[in-house]
Structure 1
Amino acid sequence: MKSYDFLPIILGSDENAYGNVRLIQEAYQIKPLLLCTRLLIPTMNSKLFDLIQIDRFDHDTVFPGALLSILEKHTAPNRKIVVIPCSDYYAALLSRHYSKFKGLIGNHFISEALLDTFDTKDKFYKLCEKHRLDYPKTIVCEPHERERALEQMDFQFPIVVKPENSNAYAYLHCHFEGKKKVFFFNTKDEYLLMVKNMNTSDYKGKLIIQEFIPGDDSSMRVINSYSDDNGNVRIMCLGQPVLEEYAPKTLGNYAAIISRSDMDIYQKVKTFLEDIGYVGFSNIDMKYDSRTGKYMMFEINPRLGRSSFFVRAAGLNMIAALIDNVVYGIDNDCIYSDKTALWTNVPNLVLRKYVTEPALSAEIKNLYKQKKVLKSLWFKKDLNLKRILRVSRYYFGHINNYRRYYFNKGQAVSTEMRG
């Protein structure tokens, strides 16, 4: 395999983007092209990619023309361009404008029509009903219904409240006091205080109000998959998050994941993806409900997850699965990950303190002893002094974040007690 066979273009600059850059370097020893509006800490001071920064690149009015210009510039005979979005809004932009890039991009993305069936949580739950997938009891609240929405509630406190898409541009760029990716409330008064603050912002999206599924972070599950252009799932990896992040802007993001294997979940998700004709990368979040023994679906994201490097810890390379299929025409049977390993975005000190379930704590300790632990941002081939200092500050800054923001989610402690 030679470097001129393909050119990978990565959209974004977060942990997901850096993880994908690293996967390309490990598998093919080439530099991808990274496009973004600005560099975030995970990709700063890296020598693994060529960078193009584009002002307002994530805006609908800028994206199509800017990407088209770059594609045309880098098109060459006998070379395929593969584009990898690292956020929901880049994935959505590709789906909406794909016809403009016809013949220039080697890989495909889901249609805008399919995206429209699950790009918000309320739409996804309708899709779950159609395909007999379980999901939490839910109220979908329009902006004008926020203050009286709880009158419809047929479940008990505590509750979980989320914007219809916490990764959507509209929510990411709105501002109000106490803003979080996801809220946990024990009382109606707590909820109404948040609504009062939200109503001062320009966020006009829906709210999703759900029953809280019992269990701490380790009750969550995540599956990353790749589906080829014919909608056949080619690779799947299941992970069990053992700890999530708790700072307001990243609350709910996975901080550490142990890769698992469960053929029942694999088959259920594979059937779902193939039934809806899914194409490309997918990232599905769910939670195990100990009361029913069922997995409750939360959402599907049309790209690899921010924590998707946990798949690499399990010995698989999701980007290589894409490249091998799109560029080299390799059509393998579906690969189901069955290895156990740990991916972490936080120091071991944090895991030792905040992963309190004895069996999980012991397993994590053993994985460290066996050297089956991988961290996205620490890559030996990319550790110059500036990067070491910057990533160290970012990495060890999690210690203070947990000290300040951590709460026992399994007990759904009130927001007032979290401060």
Structure 2
Amino acid sequence: MPDTPAHPFAAAPTPGVDLVLLGGDIGIYALARAFHERYGTIATVVTRKVAGPVADSQILRTVELGMAATEDEMIQALLKVGADKASRPGGTRPVLLANADFLVALLAAHREQLGELFHLPLLDDDVLRAVADKATFSETCLEIGVPTPRTVVLDFAGGDAPEVPDLEHLGWPLVAKASRSSAYNAVSFPGKRKVFEIADRAQLVDLVERLTTAGYRDRFVVQEMIPGDDTSMLSVTAYVDTAGKVTLLGGAQVLLEEHTPGALGNPAAMFTTDLPEVFEQSVLFLEHTGYRGYANFDVKIDPRDGVAKFFEVNPRIGRNNYYMTAAGANVADPVVADFIEDRELTRMVPREEILYSIVPWMLLRRYIIDPDLRARVQEIGRRRTVHPLSYEVEGAKRRAYVIAATINQVKKFLQHYPRPSADGF
């Protein structure tokens, strides 16, 4: 299934539009690609390590800080980049974006300094603290009537292991994850995972002990397991402008998620689709909380009642954001309209049905058990399949990397998720 372009990219850079990105993963490249397609922008990427997703690219320049770079050194590097751009003749004020929770939190902590040199599409501090916390997210959903899994919160703030309550009412197995990934990134321990499947009370007690020993000092959420494999998951991407209007809104049905311990839950394949009820609930949450900037919701259809249950909102656009741009709603447009052009934008909704995938079709089809869904996805893929890193303006080194990375996915899935399971674990 070829990755064929549906929309021509800009012939020349658009004056006044510039972009600086903090980080270096697939999602960062996807943002750089969106700005390049629409505005011809050559982005500046500041990162500790120039890894495959952003290496040898024609559409961005990299500033490599080294793996030992501190948060303060990252901020100083950004300030230098911003000052250099401002000092040039006709210098522009770039948009500054990050696409990892801890990096978004870092930008927010230095918003006054950075705001002098960059456009910062960031949430207010109090809103960021609330929505980036999975425990608070669950409470907010219950408050406004947005469906969410039943949740119990364990608090490690005191430094001692919290008491594990009776959780029989949730049923086993359960799902456990950090309330805030920015806090979780600071600890390390054997068996650390992004999301844990907890079979029984003994396993939960063991996890609590390991977290305490590792020095974890935040909250951990324990939730009921919503049945269903990866194909029950949905992704919703949005942008809320400075006036509080949702100017970008779209979604996709996930087909396969990554299953390596550190990336568990990141979509590896999905197709764009209309989700009217889920979109309505997403807008309700965004408006209720006073949200601003990019948002990415994780949602799952509960087969027991057919209800879409909201798991979390990421205070950033998400690693898989290119599905929006590929389907006709370029994710660069709303932030440029908001901060640079200062104009109202009619809500952008992707209209094209496309298959987004970073894995080869022969691997993907192995995990789509439902024959009707498999046939539908195959037909969509024949019309248009996109890989976020496969961009026709790139050179031979990039093309070789994309081929190698795609093939490497086969090895990773056979190692970590050799066959589909009923619950996606």
In structure 2, the partner of 1:155 is: 170
TM-score, length of structure 1 as denominator length: 0.90
Please tell me whether the aligned partners of residues 184 and 412 of structure 1 are also in contact (alpha carbons under 8 angstroms). no
In structure 2, the partner of 1:98 is: 111
How far apart are residue 103 of structure 1 and its match?
4.0
In structure 2, the partner of 1:51 is: 62
How far apart are residue 160 of structure 1 and its match?
0.8
In structure 1, the partner of 2:154 is: 141
How far apart are residue 307 of structure 1 and its match?
0.7
Supply the distance in 1 between the matched residues of 2:355 and 2:424 (Cα, whole angstroms): 26
- Residue pairs, 1:170-189, within 5 angstroms: 170-189=183-202
TM-score, length of structure 2 as denominator length: 0.89
Please tell me whether the aligned partners of residues 258 and 264 of structure 2 are also in contact (alpha carbons under 8 angstroms). yes
Give identity over the alignment, percent: 24
Gaps of at least 5 residues in structure 1 are 414-419
- Residue pairs, 1:18-417, within 5 angstroms: 18-55=29-66, 59-75=70-86, 77=90, 79-143=92-156, 148-166=163-181, 168=182, 170-370=183-383, 372-385=384-397, 387-406=398-417, 408-411=420-423
How far apart are residue 114 of structure 1 and its match?
1.0
In structure 1, the partner of 2:6 is: none
Query: CA 1:365–1:108 in structure 2 vs 1: closer, same or farther (change >3 Å)?
Result: closer
Supply the distance in 2 between the matched residues of 1:308 and 1:159 (Cα, whole angstroms): 29
Please tell me whether the aligned partners of residues 18 and 92 of structure 2 are also in contact (alpha carbons under 8 angstroms). yes
Q: Which amino acid aligns with 1:375?
A: H
Gaps of at least 5 residues in structure 2 are 1-11
Paired residue total: 409
In structure 2, the partner of 1:417 is: none
Query: CA 1:206–1:55 in structure 2 vs 1: closer, same or farther (change >3 Å)?
Result: same
Supply the distance in 2 between the matched residues of 1:296 and 1:338 (Cα, whole angstroms): 24
How far apart are residue 408 of structure 1 and its match?
3.9
SS at match of 2:389: coil
SS at match of 1:382: coil
Name which of structure 1's ranges 75-84 and 266-275 shifts more when overlaid on structure 2: 75-84
Please tell me whether the aligned partners of residues 159 and 212 of structure 1 are also in contact (alpha carbons under 8 angstroms). yes
- Structure 1 stretches (4+) deviating beyond 6 angstroms? none
Q: What is the root-mean-square deviation in Å for CA atoms of aligned residues?
A: 2.3
Supply the distance in 2 between the matched residues of 1:334 and 1:4 (Cα, whole angstroms): 24
SS at match of 1:106: coil
Please tell me whether the aligned partners of residues 228 and 325 of structure 1 are also in contact (alpha carbons under 8 angstroms). yes
How far apart are residue 412 of structure 1 and its match?
6.5
Supply the distance in 2 between the matched residues of 1:263 and 1:238 (Cα, whole angstroms): 10
Supply the distance in 1 between the matched residues of 2:130 and 2:68 (Cα, whole angstroms): 25
Q: Which amino acid aligns with 1:61?
A: D
